[in-house]
Structure 1
Amino acid sequence: MRELAYLRPDDVGDAVAAVSGNPRAQYLGGGTNLVDHLKLGVTSPELLVDVRRLPLDEVEEVAGDDGPVLRVGANVRNSDLAAHPVVRSVFPAVARALLSGASGQIRNQATTAGNLLQRTRCVYFQDVTTACNKRDPGSGCSAIGGYARYNAILGASEACVTTHPSDLAVALAALDATVVVQGPDGERRVPVLELHRLPGDRPEQDTTLAHGELITAVELTAGRLTRRSTYYKARDRASYAFALVSVAGALQLDGDTVTDVRLAWGGVAHRPWRATVAEEALRGSAFSEEAVLAACERELSAAVTSEESAFKVPMVRNVSALVLGRLAKEDR
């Protein structure tokens, strides 16, 4: 039995002060990821700061510089956000990504911020008998040369080859969401594309957040492009499975010409992968399946695969063509 202290503050500032002042303190939200890791011995904090009582469970529509903004509180449950009428109609990629994640029971418990901050991991990370640089820096990476079906094919390093598990994060990456963060020095806004990081030589650090910083909200700006968005997840079984490959896309056409496009991939990297090379190749060109496949091929030119993970290259290319093809039919 491991002893740990427990704190349940009512104020955001008190929560931030408690965690930032203790290097062995962690936030507890829905607990769907952290509690598992406590049980497995993957993590052993000395203080848990429960943020579920904080007033961060509302979805609000506010005015923004570039259009209407949906501000989603950090404690909004995944199931509630997926069912929200504005999310379903204006940000369908977000609703579909949320409904692709985990199971109904977990979606009822998991929070918006917690979903984004779940640990990037593979089977070896959760097995404390194996070497893992994320869990024990410098110990090695068992996934290199081991079970590789879920390994990253983009942005990996010699220290880590695992992939980010969040479906929501991929949709938010495609829609240029912003994360609102409260820290000891006040509030700041972080583009979701800058929230997660590639492993490099520090795979134990999943995000760019400093210790003690707390996500308080996620902001999404509405527009024509967000309404023409969707999400598709390819996996080994129909539910409760991580993505082998997932794609969030948004598309805007003028006739047959691509005027704007967004493309983000899951299951391929240590963080949601925004396919900017493919996007640039498609903008201003005539839309076709062949054009999408060729654009994705350019993005995937840097992919590094093993015999087990090589299937991901054609899979992400074909799923991207499927997603954008469906959106093209809606836009015509």
Structure 2
Amino acid sequence: MKPFSYERPATVARALALVADDPGAVYVAGGTNLFDHLKLGIAEPRLLVDVTGLPLNGVETLPSGGLRIGANVRNADLAAHPAVRERYPVVSQALLAGASPQLRNMATLAGNLMQRTRCLHFQNPRTPCNKREPGSGCAALEDRTGHAAVLGASESCVAVHPSDLAVALCAVDAVACVRGRAGSRRIPVTSLHRLPGGHPERDTVLDHGGLITAVELPPLPMAARSRYRKVGDRASFSFALVSVAVALDLDGGTIRDARIAFGGLATKPWRASRAEGALRGAPATAERFAAAAREELSAARTVGANAYKVPLARDTLVATLLDVCGRRTPGC
């Protein structure tokens, strides 16, 4: 490990100045992702700016009826918060589906959103990776492990985004509150992460030094009827092969509105707008759910051994929608 400097500022303004003025500076909170990268030798920051001392904790109800969650709220605390469990169960379920209890006790809301891919080629300094070293190539284009993205990929990168929480936040129209040297702005979580295009080294739309200070969940009554389902290699501490976050507004047997997002399929958390459009005004049946899934996945492109993801995503979405409707999966 190469030496680095360490600062623990007391104010957001000081933290912003430290990182924005130094291209080799990075923020650190729980460190559950960054410290792995330090040990692997794929991150070599000159300065770590510890933001855990900043006043970015707590969950508060907004005048609109939504929730504002501080960037430093630990994942375990957020998953257990009564308002989140009652009004946005999909968020709590996504948090509990991620990592281990020990890691959830350390990891923070903003750190979860800013974590980098777990692609094996990104994590191996001996293999080419455009995300880690722009212009070096992408070893995952001939991936044989089956983890490569089927949506949103490019010739430069097919690495899957790892966050469970980000998928759920996309499904409930969450907004990230960001501070930078130029001021404050609000970014929908659906727009926070970038598709790789020709610059896969840029994971998000944030400029260097941009700091997420909070995430706001809008008042969304349908979010009370929501689910998160994750399919992985094992039951715990496993990244998603496919996951789906769903919220429904039902009028009897008819779908008035739907929110759907996929994880494990794409280079960013994937809001399934085509599937949502196919479900609005439609009957809540397994056949219609499968048709909506096919509509969304028609743009999927497979590479190597990941073709299984398309039918798995379809079946996972159908099962989750049936669960939200209070019905059993066909064949169960």
Q: What's the TM-score once normalised by structure 2's chain length?
A: 0.97
Specify the alignment match of 1:257 in structure 2: 254
Specify the alignment match of 1:6 in structure 2: 6
Question: Aligned letter for 1:77?
Answer: R
Q: CA deviation at 1:307?
A: 4.8
Equivalence map 1:151-166=2 (5 Å): 151-166=148-163
**Whole-Å separation in 2 of the counterparts to 1:216 and 1:194:** 16
**Whole-Å separation in 1 of the counterparts to 2:222 and 2:313:** 22
Secondary structure of the 1:119 match is: coil
Does residue 285 of structure 1 match 2:268? no
**Cα contact 2:156–2:200 (8 A) shared by 1:** yes
Does residue 298 of structure 1 match 2:298? no
Specify the alignment match of 1:73 in structure 2: 70
1:218 to 206, 215, 220: 215
Secondary structure of the 2:115 match is: coil
Equivalence map 1:48-127=2 (5 Å): 48-64=48-64, 68-127=65-124
Question: Aligned letter for 1:125?
Answer: F
Secondary structure of the 2:255 match is: strand
**Whole-Å separation in 1 of the counterparts to 2:97 and 2:284:** 27
**Cα contact 1:4–1:48 (8 A) shared by 2:** yes
What does the per-residue CA deviation read over 1:154-208, in whole Å, with 9 as the maximum and x for residues that have no partner?
1100100011000000000000000000111211110001100111110000000
Does residue 138 of structure 1 match 2:132? no
Q: What's the TM-score once normalised by structure 1's chain length?
A: 0.97
Secondary structure of the 2:139 match is: coil
**Cα contact 1:91–1:222 (8 A) shared by 2:** no
2:263 to 263, 266, 286: 266
Specify the alignment match of 2:25 in structure 1: 25
Does residue 315 of structure 1 match 2:329? no
What does the per-residue CA deviation read over 1:84-135, in whole Å, with 9 as the maximum and x for residues that have no partner?
0000000000000000000000000000000000012401111101111011
Identity %: 56
Question: Aligned letter for 1:279?
Answer: E
Question: Aligned letter for 1:257?
Answer: T
Does residue 34 of structure 1 match 2:34? yes
**Whole-Å separation in 2 of the counterparts to 1:271 and 1:189:** 19
CA RMSD of aligned residues (A): 1.0
Specify the alignment match of 2:330 in structure 1: none
**Whole-Å separation in 2 of the counterparts to 1:159 and 1:281:** 31
Tell me how many residue pairs correspond in the alignment.
327
**Whole-Å separation in 2 of the counterparts to 1:147 and 1:80:** 38
- In the TM superposition, structure 1's runs of 4+ consecutive aligned residues that sit over 2 Å from their partners are none
Question: Aligned letter for 1:80?
Answer: D
**Whole-Å separation in 1 of the counterparts to 2:13 and 2:222:** 36
252-261 vs 321-330, which moves further: 321-330
Specify the alignment match of 1:231 in structure 2: 228
